[in-house]
Amino acid sequence: MDVQEKVKELVRQAVKAYMSGQGNGEKMPTITVLLNYHSSNPELILKAVTEIKQSFAVKLVASKDWEEQLDGEQDVLSLDQANHRELENLWNTTDLLILPVASFQLVSKLALMVDDDSTSHTAIQFQLLGKPIVIANNEVELGVYQQILAPHSVQEKLQGYLRTTQKDHVKWVPLNQLVRTAKEQHQQYKEKQPLILAKHIEHAARGNIKTITVPKKSKITPVAKDMARELKIHIEKEHS
């Protein structure tokens, strides 16, 4: 079976898995899967995407190179042609971002909050909305010989950047742990209870905002409630 036939088979499996999920009466969480960076083993990446689709309703975004390898895949948003509104819709309507393949460039951009391309910009927007990000570390994890031969300063720089992103709640895991980690992170996200403080009300007042919409499970401190009442700022919770 050649590469093209393998890809078509993976697509058929994904469609089958999706239809099976639709039939059990349970609504699968909607997430974004973003494919942009080069992989040394694209077939493994495509297999991972198929496995992700068995657990989530996926909105797939792909670069031109990956689009060609996803021949036959339906509803793929072209990363090269997507406009700001389309990308904004992704981070506003999906709960979690998965990148099955990454690069050293992405590591540094996330650590330094550089959003000068569509991929890093999308990831940072997910962060700003408090939504989980799970990334496969296979392409950025140094091999044995790289650990032996690469300058210590280079290795320290990479590890420092990775630690920074981890503090920002970006999860770096092996490709075969993507689905499990994504499920865990999504569950934590749905159970999260954001805390609304007085400083948030103050910020809204400075911006002349009269209504603040907060997540359904948010907790509002008594001081924030009193300040909102005094400043005539209405706090409403999302319905879903």
Mean pLDDT for back-to-back runs of 10 residues, the chain (240 residues): 59 54 66 96 94 95 92 84 94 96 97 96 96 96 93 96 96 97 94 90 91 88 92 84
Task: Say whether both 106 and 204 belong to one domain.
Answer: no
Task: Say whether both 156 and 215 belong to one domain.
Answer: no
Task: Say whether both 124 and 202 belong to one domain.
Answer: no
Q: What is the pLDDT of residue 238?
A: 81
Domain coverage including residue 66: 3-191
- Cα separation, 143 vs 100, in Å, equals 18
Task: Say whether both 83 and 163 belong to one domain.
Answer: yes
Please provide residue 218's backbone torsions phi and psi, each rounded to the nearest 5 degrees. -65, 150
Task: Say whether both 150 and 201 belong to one domain.
Answer: no
CB atoms within 10 A of CB 43: 13
What b/e sequence results for 190-215 when a residue is b if at least 16 CB atoms lie within 10 Å of its CB, and e otherwise?
eeeeeebeeebbeebbeeeeeebebe
Q: What is the pLDDT of residue 237?
A: 86
26: Cα within 13 Å, side-chain hemisphere:
8
